[in-house]
Amino acid sequence: MADKSSIEWTEATWNPTTGCDRISRGCDHCYALTLAKRLKAMGSAKYQTDGDARTSGPGFGVVVHPNELTLPLRWREPRVVFVNSMSDLFHAKVPFDFVKQVFEVMAATPQHTYQVLTKRASRLAKLAPRLTWPSNVWMGVSVEDASEGDRIDHLRTVPAAVRFISAEPLLGPVAPLDLTGIHWLIAGGESGVGARPADPAWVRDLRDQCQTDGVAFFFKQWGGRTPKAGGRDLDGKTWDEMPDIPAMSALG
């Protein structure tokens, strides 16, 4: 799980922490929670701590893994890395000192581009001034519907080289948005059992606003029972735009 990824907008994943808790309706069908349960049953050492049954689940308790911190140092080829695909680096149970260590590793490996995504935008904004932000770190927030728009306001205060929005799973209309200071927007429908469908109008509104405001737009999937079920085309085109900045590496 740490070397290659099937996620369309990245190349690899790195999980120095694992586990999380549901905090909004975008978490209802969390793929990571389901995967953690399976990994626990398989005996994976990183997924043996259970989370609160009300908000988490088997194998999904928040755990930091100091032994994982050196992994990017061993990667010879530059790559684009999604940090904590199985957790949230800004979860309240992740100590600040550990968050700082993760940032120090990212700064020490400028050949890689790191994509960090959180739903804990208020903690992100609180900790951001205490962190050093190297140019190879992209910071994003998840916004599944208009009710979570305040996460973008918190993100805007962060001095990251790239600030991005992940509108996935897209569960309601989000546009129009204030995209000031935002460089990239990913949109995608929900996948898995019981997936809630994304209205094409919601996706088109986001694409159109990104085009108007000069923000790179990436459409990941329509979703369905499996991630690939509905394909990726939007109005006959695959939208794979990436931020046009120097920090871009292998996907540029």
Cα–Cα distance between 246 and 252 in angstroms, integer?
Answer: 9
Q: How far apart are CA 142 and CA 19, in angstroms?
A: 17
Q: Where are the beta strands (DSSP E) in 169-233?
A: 184-188, 216-221
Tens-place pLDDT, residues 194-215 = 999 999 999 999 999 999 999 9
Does 229 score more than 90 pLDDT?
no
Q: What is the pLDDT of residues 91-132, one digit of tens each?
A: 999 999 999 999 999 999 999 999 999 999 999 999 999 999
pLDDT at 165: 98
Q: What is the pLDDT of residues 40-87, one digit of tens each?
A: 999 999 999 999 999 999 999 999 999 999 999 999 999 999 999 999
Amino acid present at 96: F
Cα–Cα distance measured from residue 119 to residue 92, given in angstroms and rounded to the nearest whole number: 11
E strand segments, the chain: 12-14, 17-18, 63-64, 80-83, 113-118, 137-142, 162-167, 184-188, 216-221
pLDDT for the residue 66: 98
- Taken in order of first residue, the domains within the chain and their CATH numbers are 12-221 (3.80.30)
Task: State residue 4's pLDDT score.
Answer: 80
Give the global pTM. 0.94
Percent of the chain predicted with pLDDT > 70? 96
Tell me: pLDDT of 20 over 60. Answer: yes
pLDDT (0 to 100) of residue 227: 87
Q: H helices then E strands: how many in the chain?
A: 5, 9
Which residues have C-beta within 8 Å of that of residue 135, sequence separation ≥ 6? Answer: 110, 161, 246, 247
DSSP state of 218: E
**What is the tens place of the pLDDT at every residue in 160-202?**
999 999 999 999 999 999 999 999 999 999 999 899 999 999 9
Q: Could you write out the DSSP letters of every residue in 203-218?
A: HHHHHHHHHHHT-EEE
Place of tokens 């120090």: 104
Q: In the 8-state DSSP scheme, what is residue 118?
A: E
Asked if residues 138 and 114 have their Cβ atoms less than 8 Å apart, the reply is yes
Average pLDDT, the chain: 94
Residue 245 has a pLDDT of: 65
Query: How is residue 157 written in tokens?
Result: 């205060």
Task: Note the residue count of the chain.
Answer: 252
185 Cβ neighbours under 8 A, 6+ residues apart? 164, 165, 167, 179, 206, 210, 215, 216, 217, 218
**154 and 120 in contact (C-beta within 8 Å)?**
no
